[in-house]
Structure 1
Amino acid sequence: MGSCAIVVLIFAVLLQNAWCDVSPTPIVMWHGMGDSCCFPFSLGAIKDKLIDSIPGLYVHSLQIGDNIIEDVENGYLMHPDKQIKLACELIQNDTQLANGYNAIGFSQGGQFLRGLVQRCPNPPMKNLISVGGQHQGVYGLPNCATVAATVCDYIRKLLNYAAYEEWVQNGLVQATYWHDPLNPEEYKNGSTFLADINNEREISQDYVKNLQSLEHFVLIKFDDDTVVQPVETEWFGFYKPGQSVETQSLEESDLYKNDLLGLKGMNESGKLKFLSTPGNHLKFQWDWFAENVLEPYLK
C-alpha cells in the first residue's frame, strides 16, 4: 500500500471515530398543568422512550421546586415569570446543556419554554417542540383535569370573573395566559405573562431576535382536543377579536400581520412547522411522534 493510501486510510479512521464520539443534542422537557417532571406514567415514560430511541441522549426534565409535590403545585401557583427564571438557572447550571439543547414543552410547558427562549438565550435552544401549547392563551377550561378536578373547577370559576385582577394574576398561573377576546384591551393591560411574551404591549427586539435564533419551532395541534379552548391556539390561532365563536389562523391575526414576534419571517423561511395528530389533549401515538418529530428535529 502506498504512503498516500495509508494517509487516506488513517484520516478515514480518525474521521469515523470523531463522528462516533459526537453526543446527541440534549433535550429539556417542561410538563403541563397538574403534571410533574417525573411521574412514571407521563414525562418519566416519555423520557425513557427518548433515551431508548436516541442512544447516549441526556434528558433534563425540569422540576420547579424542591420535590415533585412542589413541582405540581407550582404549575398552578407560581407566576410563569418566576418559573422561567428558575428554569433558566437550572439550565445554565447544568453543564451537560452548555453547548445547547432541544426542548419539548407539553401543554402550558410549551408557552413557558417559548418564554424561556425569548428571555434566556444562553445556552442556546436549538429546536422547540410545542406539544399542545397555548401560544395565544385560552378562553375556557373544559375537562381541565382528572387528577385535581376540584382545583380546576375553582380555577375555571375564578378566571371567568376575575382573571385580570392583580391578586389573581399574581397567584394563579392559568390567569396569566387567560385571553378574553371580548375585552382585548383589558387582556393586553391585565395579562402579566402572555401579553408580554407575545409583544402585545411593548415590542422587545430581544424577544424577536431570540425566538428567530431557533432552527425550528414545531407546533403540534390535537385535532380532537376537548381540553384547550380554542384548539387553534396550539397553532397560534385564536378567536377573532370581539367574540368567542369564530376563530382565525395565525396568518389572519395582528400578531402575524404586524409581525410582533418575527413569526412571519420564520414561517416564510421554513422555521415554523405546523403538525397535527388525531386524539385528545396530549394523546399521541409514539410511532407518530418518532416519525414526525424525533427523526427530523431531535436526532
Structure 2
Amino acid sequence: MWRLVTVIFAVTIANIASEPTPIVIWHGMGDSCCNPLSMGRIKKIIKENGPENVYVKSLMFGSNVVTDTEKGFFANMNDLVADACKQLKEDPKIGDSYHSVGFSQGGLFLRALAQRCDYPVPKSVVSIGGPQHGVYGFPHCPGSVGICNTVRRLLNTGAYLGFVQNALVQAQYWDDPYLRDDFRNKSIFLADVNCARECDQDRYRKNLVRLENLVLVKFLRDTMVVPKETEWFGYYPDNNVTNVVTLRDSDLYKNDLISLKELDDNGKLHFLTVDADHLHITNEFFVNEIVKKYFS
C-alpha cells in the first residue's frame, strides 16, 4: 500500500516538474489582450514554437477588449500593476513562476510588476520596445483620432498636474528633462519604479534580481518612442534633449538602485536590436531570439 502511494506521489511530482513554465503577455498602447492580428498572433506563435503544451496568458484589464484597450490610455498604472499581480496569483495555471513578454509600454509595466509583485516569481521579462526610462515626445499614436487628440491635449496641458497623472497612462512615464524636479516629486509611477525618489528600494532590488533574464529589445529606427534609447534604459540628462546618457553611465546603474548592475554583472541583462521601426519585428526574430532562447 505504502509503495503504491509512494509511486503515485512520485509520478505526480514528476508530472508537475515536467510542465513548462507559463508565459504572460502584456500588450502595448492602442492594443488589447485578444486582437487576433496582434497579441492573438503572438500567443499562437509562442504555442507553436515554445515548449509543448505551454500555457500562455495575455493580460486583460476590465471586463472586455474595449475596456482593455481604453485602459492602455486612461488608468492609474499603480492600480493596473496591482491588478496584474492579483490576476497571476489567482490563476491556478500560473503556479509559482512564469516567463513574460511585453510590447511597447507593456514591457515597462511587466518590469514594474517584477519589482512590485512578490509572488508568483518571474523568471524572464522580455521588453520589446518598452520605454524603460520614460518618454519625452509623442510623435505617433496608435489609438483613435479622438483618444490621441485627448492624450496630446493632456500632455500639453501639463503632464505633472495631479488630475493628468492620475488619469493618463502616458503621463505616468513622461520624463521631462527640463522639469526634473516635477518628475521626481509628481510622477506617480515611473519616478517610483526607477527609484528617482524615495521608493521601496529594498523590495524592488530583491524582487528584480530574482530574474534569470531581463531582455531589452531596441528598435534602431523607432519613430514612436522618444528617445529610442529609453528601450535600453538610456535617457536625456537634465536640461538637454541633444545627448543621451546610456544605462551604464547613469546613476540608476552606477548606484544599482533597482539591481540592474547586479543583473548585468551576473550575465542576466541582455540587449538586443532590431533594425526597424517600432514593433516591426519578424516572426523569425521573435521565435529564434526570444521564444527559443528565453522561454524554454
Q: TM above 0.5, one fold?
A: yes
Residue 245 of structure 2 corresponds to 248
Residue 10 of structure 1 corresponds to none
**Matched position secondary structure for 2:223:** coil
Say whether residues 1:98 and 2:95 are aligned partners. yes
Residue 38 of structure 1 corresponds to 34
**Matched position secondary structure for 2:86:** helix
Q: How does 1:216-235 map to 2 (within 5 A)?
A: 216-235=213-232
Say whether residues 1:59 and 2:56 are aligned partners. yes
Q: Is the 8 A contact 2:49 2:292 kept in 1?
A: no
Sequence identity percentage: 44
Residue 209 of structure 1 corresponds to 206
Say whether residues 1:288 and 2:285 are aligned partners. yes
Say whether residues 1:183 and 2:198 are aligned partners. no
**Matched position secondary structure for 1:137:** coil
Say whether residues 1:279 and 2:279 are aligned partners. no
**Matched position secondary structure for 2:264:** helix
Shift of residue 96, structure 1, vs aligned partner:
0.9
Residue 119 of structure 1 corresponds to 116
1:261 and 1:116 map into 2 onto residues whose CA distance is 13
Q: Spell out, residue by residue over 1:42-101, the C-alpha distance to the aligned partner (whole angstroms, 9 max, x if none).
A: 000110111111220110100000000010011111111110111111110101111210
Residue 26 of structure 1 corresponds to 22
Equivalent pairs, count: 284
Say whether residues 1:269 and 2:266 are aligned partners. yes
**Range moving further from structure 2, 257-266 or 192-201:** 257-266
1:110 and 1:148 map into 2 onto residues whose CA distance is 22
Q: Is the 8 A contact 1:140 1:156 kept in 2?
A: no
State TM-score, norm by structure 1.
0.91
Residue 9 of structure 1 corresponds to none
**Matched position secondary structure for 1:248:** coil
Residue 167 of structure 1 corresponds to 163
**Matched position secondary structure for 1:101:** strand
**Matched position secondary structure for 1:292:** helix
1:194 and 1:20 map into 2 onto residues whose CA distance is 37
Residue 5 of structure 2 corresponds to none
Q: Which residue identity does 1:100 align to in structure 2?
A: S
Q: 1:21 to 1:85 in 2, by over 3 A?
A: closer
1:237 and 1:150 map into 2 onto residues whose CA distance is 31
Say whether residues 1:142 and 2:139 are aligned partners. yes
Higher Cα Rg, which structure: 1
**Matched position secondary structure for 2:267:** coil
**Matched position secondary structure for 1:115:** helix
2:16 and 2:98 map into 1 onto residues whose CA distance is 19
**Matched position secondary structure for 2:175:** coil
Residue 126 of structure 2 corresponds to 129
Residue 86 of structure 1 corresponds to 83
Aligned match for 2:73, one of 67, 71, 76: 76
Aligned match for 1:154, one of 150, 161, 169: 150
Aligned match for 2:106, one of 104, 109, 115: 109
For the aligned residue pairs, the C-alpha RMSD in angstroms reads 1.8
1:290 and 1:107 map into 2 onto residues whose CA distance is 18
Q: Spell out, residue by residue over 1:16-54, the C-alpha distance to the aligned partner (whole angstroms, 9 max, x if none).
A: xx5897122110000011100000010001101111112
For structure 1, the 5+ residue unaligned runs are: 1-13
Hey, which bits of structure 1, 4+ residues long, moved more than 2 A? 18-21
Q: Is the 8 A contact 2:96 2:119 kept in 1?
A: no
- Larger RCO: Structure 1 or Structure 2 (Cα < 8 Å, ≥ 6 residues apart)? 2
**Matched position secondary structure for 2:47:** helix
Q: 1:169 to 1:297 in 2, by over 3 A?
A: same
Shift of residue 230, structure 1, vs aligned partner:
0.2
1:149 and 1:239 map into 2 onto residues whose CA distance is 29
